[in-house]
Structure 1
Amino acid sequence: MLMSEKNNRFGPDALRRCLPQDKPGGRYLVAFSGGLDSRCLLDALLKSAPAYEVVAIHVHHGLSANADVWSRHCAAVCHQAGVRFIEEKVRVINTGKGIEDAAREARYAAFARHMETGDHLLMAHHADDQAETLLLRLLRGTGAKGLEGMSQQRAFSSGIIWRPLLGFSRAALEIYAGQQALHWVEDESNADSRYDRNFLRNNIFPLLNERWPDFALRWQQTATHVAETNQLADLAVQQVFPSLQPRPEKSGASINVSVLQQYALAERNALLRYWSELLGLDAPGAQPLAILHQHLQQAQPDHNFELCWGGAVLKRFQQRLYLYSNDAWQNLQVITPGQESTWDLSLASHHQIPVFAGMQLCFEAVNAAGADGCLAARYPHIRIDRRQGGERSHPHYRAHSQTLKKLLQASDIEPWWRDQIPLLFSEDGQLLAVGDLWVEKSAMAAIGEPGWRIFWRETANSV
């Protein structure tokens, strides 16, 4: 049934029905600004006889001259109600996305510091807030995911964010606050229509409300319907995605280009967005997707192809697309001096040696080598460096030596990794191994002899 203002009454019983029914212990942390919304949430929560400890967290942004007054008000409310009160003072740094985004990032970082396993962070966003979010996203050209608006729940830190007020309008909260004689603080910045949300709240929504009094509740229902439709679409994409032969790489991940090209345009877009989000990266928008599809249609693909969006970088090599986080990609572009220090290898321990581009060499002791190319244990001291040009190499699986440059070109290693490959040398300058690609024939452990199995991998679990 369509929710309207008539059946939109807010109170402890209504709130109880909107709280999680299967909460596995933990606490309720209330994001408590002291404004109308969070004041109603805290009051109704306490009157609903919660089964879990309630903790109020107030974030002091320091952006208003009244910030100290608001903090004292929140502390007094909690003291009177017998609720544990936590004040978090944060420093808001505008990194170019605007002061609103900077304050939001600082606020969520503060909340995360207090989350414990099983905790639910209750946020006081209501239907009018959701309407603002939806309209702002529409104005920015959002896709189907954006039309979900704010989710009622999502994983956050070691717990869950829960928004139990999304089905209630601000008007319903105002009625409840009046009935309970609640007092709250008003943020004077809410009157400043230079901010996008305030412009909608102060200038646009009053006009909409005159014509369609329950428009915010209707929009919330639309967001719910879109979220359900997106869930079905996501299930379909998840079933198809393995056909792209996804695999983790030394850094980032890759998929098969030829298989991707077999799908229709809409399917390719959905698969690429899913892949990006699976790796914790921003999904590509319409423009980068159009550029990629134009590239895929070329008879002779550009092997220097590079596409960036948000914090993601997409590259192509042969028949695979490689996706990196911007940080991981930047690590690959930095050519630092080689490691001139000498490392001691002892078969009694496992060794992890940091090298270049956020990578490390791992040495795993092998008591009896097979035919898979282990480094012989007769080299107790090694030196690690980059290729300088002109090196020759004789991989253990080849009959003859060749220049390292040509060997790498003939290998399946991506071009952007070739200057970052760690070369292992003995104390007297003999080349022993090329990363974990191959061991030199002269340095290979004989079958049955002790040796080292080498792995060249990321130091951290970044994309």
Structure 2
Amino acid sequence: MRSALPAFNEVWQRQFRSNCLKQLQNFSENSSFLIGCSGGMDSMLLLHLMSFLCPEKVRAIYVDHQLQSSSEQWGQFVLAQCQQLNIPCIVQTVDVADGNLESQARSARYQAYSHHIQPHEILLLAHHQQDQAETLMLRLLSGAGIHGLAAMREIDVRQNLTIWRPLLNISHEKICQWASQLNVQNIQDPTNYDTHYDRAWCREELWHILQSRYPKMQQALSRTSYLMQDAEDILHEVLLQDLALCGNDVELGLHIFNQLNPPRQRQLLSAWMKGGDQYRPSFDMVERIQNEVIHSKKDSQAALHWNGYFYVRYQDQLYRIKKEEYLAEKTEIFEIQNIKFELNESVSLASGQYKIQTENIGLSFELLNKKLTIEQRKGGEKIHLYGRIGSWPLKKAIQEAHIFPWQRHTIQILSIDNVMLGAFTPKGFWFAQSVYCETGGWQPKLMNKDQTHR
């Protein structure tokens, strides 16, 4: 098949090779490429072109979604074509979760890509100009904003992989021509023509009607996506500034947030909720966060769940909390247990990692290596904090310390013979006044996350 290259050389140099060489300069010299191959014309053409351009730096992967009776045979076809081109090939079977079939299949596919991608390896996908135009049109019909209408980028840098789409500016007609000139063998997936799926409906039903009226529609929509990418880049700079003013990836300060105008509030909230995921929340979900959480009554415990996180307002702050952390209070029950401490040892408890060390004022050394009792807070307890006058409700101390409600179940009380020695809290160990207090004693010291990994 490589013998077809000389006849193809003129087009190759002008429209594909020159563009690829320009992009290759942006990658490390050590970069190699993993091509996602479905067996269709587009991906098989890309496989052939890259085998000419970088024959020693290319691998291929076929993801079998097990949704078609012929999917296993298609994997064998891709494998055989790769063997002819002397390209290593992975055939990966995946299970597609229930739900929107197109979305779940895409998610399973990208999980397979992420699993097999190697350091310094770039994922190559064969999306072309018509794919870009279809994506923009479908997102427009779903009510997408700038982020959605930016559609696909030629170079897409994500958290765990970098994607390159070398054919994104090439028309489908040109791809068909090139594939014919190179005699590229491929398979036909019948779902590409099944109008039950949105993209197939767009391609088979809507596309021809619009193109008969607007012959250059494909190029125009593709150009719009690039204009939206410029707008998205500018908007991203504003978002970073707003995020720096309002908080971080975990929390937003609502006092400053509420001073932004409504469009900037919506954009910041949408981007903040997206986090490291690929897709932003829907417009309706952003409005629900604003109406049901941010603008809820101050004394309410409003919380809204979306995409594995709970969004909660507390003390004029909006928090983004992992689902398992927020619901831990309902599932984590810590039984009364006996515990012994040694000087300089590290101890892992519900509220954090502690180190036993000497302090100016602390517990008597007689208590080291002695059986102490630790139990979960039940409610109604009183504590006489060292240095303060009299006992007061532990609940009040917790409220004054602004310990998050979803973390209060981790508070544990340390005692011996029914004498309270202190309380382990997410804000540290609260040392209690007792007969066991002495100068130069010891206390558990809460370690920060950086210290726990040393």
* TM-score, normalising length: structure 1: 0.84
- The C-alpha deviation readout for 1:68-92, integer Å capped at 9, x for no partner, is 2211211111111111111112222
Find out whether 1:36 has 2:34 as its counterpart: no
Preserved CA contact (<8 Å) 2:58 2:88: yes
Gap runs ≥5 in structure 1: 1-6
Could you say which residue in structure 2 is the equivalent of 1:404? Answer: 394
Deviation at 1:279, TM superposition (A): 6.2
After superposition, the Cα gap between the structure-2 partners of 1:18 and 1:140, relative to the gap in structure 1 and judged at 3 Å, is farther
Preserved CA contact (<8 Å) 1:422 1:435: yes
d(CA) in 2 for partners of 1:130 and 1:293?
33
Please give the root-mean-square deviation of Cα atoms over the aligned residues, in Å. 3.2
- The C-alpha deviation readout for 1:370-389, integer Å capped at 9, x for no partner, is 57xx6666344454432222
Could you say which residue in structure 2 is the equivalent of 1:351? Answer: 347
Could you say which residue in structure 1 is the equivalent of 2:381? Answer: 391
After superposition, the Cα gap between the structure-2 partners of 1:304 and 1:151, relative to the gap in structure 1 and judged at 3 Å, is same
Deviation at 1:120, TM superposition (A): 0.1
d(CA) in 2 for partners of 1:215 and 1:376?
81
Could you say which residue in structure 2 is the equivalent of 1:441? Answer: 432
The amino acid of 2:400's aligned partner reads: A
Preserved CA contact (<8 Å) 1:375 1:453: no
Could you say which residue in structure 1 is the equivalent of 2:79? Answer: 75
Between stretches 55-64 and 291-300, larger displacement belongs to: 291-300
Preserved CA contact (<8 Å) 2:96 2:105: yes
Q: 1:161 aligns with which of 160, 163, 172?
A: 163
Residues 251-400 of structure 1: pairs in structure 2 closer than 5 A:
253-278=250-275, 283-294=280-291, 301-332=298-329, 334-353=330-349, 355=350, 360-366=351-357, 368-370=358-360, 378-380=367-369, 381-400=371-390
Q: Secondary structure at the match of 1:442?
A: coil
The amino acid of 1:394's aligned partner reads: H
Number of positions where the alignment pairs a residue of Structure 1 with one of Structure 2: 436
Q: 1:117 aligns with which of 116, 119, 126?
A: 119
d(CA) in 1 for partners of 2:378 and 2:293?
35
Could you say which residue in structure 1 is the equivalent of 2:227? Answer: 225
Could you say which residue in structure 1 is the equivalent of 2:405? Answer: 415
Preserved CA contact (<8 Å) 2:293 2:313: no
Gap runs ≥5 in structure 2: 1-10
Q: Secondary structure at the match of 2:199?
A: helix
Residues 71-110 of structure 1: pairs in structure 2 closer than 5 A:
71-94=75-98, 96=99, 98-110=100-112
- The C-alpha deviation readout for 1:376-403, integer Å capped at 9, x for no partner, is 6634445443222221112235222112
d(CA) in 2 for partners of 1:173 and 1:376?
80
After superposition, the Cα gap between the structure-2 partners of 1:379 and 1:288, relative to the gap in structure 1 and judged at 3 Å, is farther
After superposition, the Cα gap between the structure-2 partners of 1:282 and 1:305, relative to the gap in structure 1 and judged at 3 Å, is farther
Residues 120-269 of structure 1: pairs in structure 2 closer than 5 A:
120-156=122-158, 158-244=160-246, 246=247, 253-269=250-266
Find out whether 1:451 has 2:443 as its counterpart: yes
The amino acid of 1:79's aligned partner reads: Q
- The C-alpha deviation readout for 1:68-119, integer Å capped at 9, x for no partner, is 221121111111111111111222232x2x2222222221111112111111
- The C-alpha deviation readout for 1:275-332, integer Å capped at 9, x for no partner, is 3234659644433444455579969645323334444422222322222233432334
Deviation at 1:369, TM superposition (A): 1.6
Preserved CA contact (<8 Å) 2:129 2:171: yes
d(CA) in 2 for partners of 1:292 and 1:79?
53
After superposition, the Cα gap between the structure-2 partners of 1:441 and 1:349, relative to the gap in structure 1 and judged at 3 Å, is closer
Q: 1:45 aligns with which of 45, 50, 60?
A: 50
Preserved CA contact (<8 Å) 1:121 1:160: yes
The amino acid of 1:35's aligned partner reads: G
Between stretches 215-224 and 176-185, larger displacement belongs to: 215-224
After superposition, the Cα gap between the structure-2 partners of 1:287 and 1:398, relative to the gap in structure 1 and judged at 3 Å, is farther
Could you say which residue in structure 2 is the equivalent of 1:3? Answer: none
Deviation at 1:157, TM superposition (A): 6.3
d(CA) in 2 for partners of 1:446 and 1:283?
56
Q: Secondary structure at the match of 2:359?
A: coil
d(CA) in 2 for partners of 1:130 and 1:216?
8
d(CA) in 1 for partners of 2:321 and 2:161?
28
Between stretches 142-151 and 313-322, larger displacement belongs to: 313-322
The amino acid of 2:71's aligned partner reads: A
After superposition, the Cα gap between the structure-2 partners of 1:189 and 1:363, relative to the gap in structure 1 and judged at 3 Å, is same
* Structure (1/2) with the larger helix percentage: 2
Preserved CA contact (<8 Å) 1:121 1:162: yes
Q: 1:64 aligns with which of 34, 57, 68?
A: 68
After superposition, the Cα gap between the structure-2 partners of 1:338 and 1:298, relative to the gap in structure 1 and judged at 3 Å, is closer
d(CA) in 1 for partners of 2:231 and 2:412?
52
Preserved CA contact (<8 Å) 1:116 1:159: no
Preserved CA contact (<8 Å) 2:302 2:312: yes
Find out whether 1:428 has 2:425 as its counterpart: no
After superposition, the Cα gap between the structure-2 partners of 1:423 and 1:327, relative to the gap in structure 1 and judged at 3 Å, is closer
After superposition, the Cα gap between the structure-2 partners of 1:330 and 1:126, relative to the gap in structure 1 and judged at 3 Å, is farther
Structure having greater relative contact order (Cα 8 Å, sep ≥ 6): 1
Preserved CA contact (<8 Å) 1:29 1:55: yes
After superposition, the Cα gap between the structure-2 partners of 1:390 and 1:328, relative to the gap in structure 1 and judged at 3 Å, is closer
Preserved CA contact (<8 Å) 2:387 2:433: no
Could you say which residue in structure 1 is the equivalent of 2:7? Answer: none
Q: Secondary structure at the match of 1:439?
A: strand
d(CA) in 1 for partners of 2:75 and 2:297?
63
d(CA) in 2 for partners of 1:275 and 1:157?
15
